[in-house]
Amino acid sequence: AQSVTQLDSHVSVSEGTPVLLRCNYSSSYSPSLFWYVQHPNKGLQLLLKYTSAATLVKGINGFEAEFKKSETSFHLTKPSAHMSDAAEYFCVVTPPGGGKLIFGQGTELSVKP
Amino acid sequence: DAGVTQSPTHLIKTRGQQVTLRCSPISGHKSVSWYQQVLGQGPQFIFQYYEKEERGRGNFPDRFSARQFPNYSSELNVNALLLGDSALYLCASSLGAQGPTDTQYFGPGTRLTVL
């Protein structure tokens, strides 16, 4: 069965410093992995997706993630945090063939001025 | 282009009542999925529909049902509401039902409160 574990429930950074949100996955097959962001009282927005092409995936708003099969990780990074990045971030995996999305528990990112 | 739309935005019901939530997918998308997001948790998959047929069902009781119409819009019905059904209900649409490139795009959700 596929699953994802987000290693931090809350991350706090200062504006202008790097962001690292950690995600480990469990999958019997080569997975499809996503990061979604949810701002307060808003729906989910796709940041980026990995579908077995390049292992370094670039997304919107300066975010990127690297797929590391040996570590079963798909961590999300951004070189410099902005106040508008404060939100809930979800790491997501899909089973082989797609279909339903399986979400992690989420990581709340706070950005201090 | 319009994104995924959901109605109503908010809803308050009492225990035992029934509720219907509505979703319109992005134009050209033929698949709609429903998710339940309880406060403080990640969304949980409820249903996926493609071309009016159920393609997947999550671990939810039979009180939850859904359907998809010829124009690809969808309704989620919940009967005999319980306090635990209070959640944000999210609808997502995608071009197809399967395949790693069938990215799901989410609507803003319907906030259901059961008293």
pLDDT at B99: 63
Q: Please check whether residue B35 touches A, CB under 8 A.
A: yes
Residues 6+ apart with CB under 8 A from B71: none
Q: In a 3-state reduction of DSSP, which class is residue B110?
A: strand
- Lowest mean per-residue pLDDT among A6-15, A51-60, B21-30: A51-60
Over the range A62-79, which residues count as b (16 or more CB within 10 Å of their CB) and which as e? ebbbebeeeeebbbbebe
Contact flag A42-B108 (C-beta cutoff 8 Å): yes
Contact flag B107-A97 (C-beta cutoff 8 Å): no
Q: Please check whether residue B56 touches A, CB under 8 A.
A: yes
Q: How far is CA B69 from CA B24, B72, B78, B96, in A?
A: 10, 5, 18, 15
Q: Is pLDDT of A96 > 80? A: no
- Please provide the average confidence, as pLDDT, over all residues in chain A: 92
CA atoms within 13 A on the CB side of B89: 32
pLDDT at B112: 97
Of A46, A100, A105, the CB nearest to B48: A100
Q: Please check whether residue B105 touches A, CB under 8 A.
A: yes
Mean pLDDT, to the nearest integer, of A81-109? 91
Share of chain B above pLDDT 70, in %: 97
Mean pLDDT, to the nearest integer, of A23-44? 88
Residue of B nearest to A40 (CA): B108
Mean pLDDT, to the nearest integer, of B42-69? 94
Instruction: Find, among A78, A11, A2, the residue nearest to A33 by Cα.
Output: A2
**Residue B100 banded pLDDT, cuts 50, 70, 90:** low
Of A34, A43, A98, the CB nearest to B98: A98
Share of chain A above pLDDT 90, in %: 74
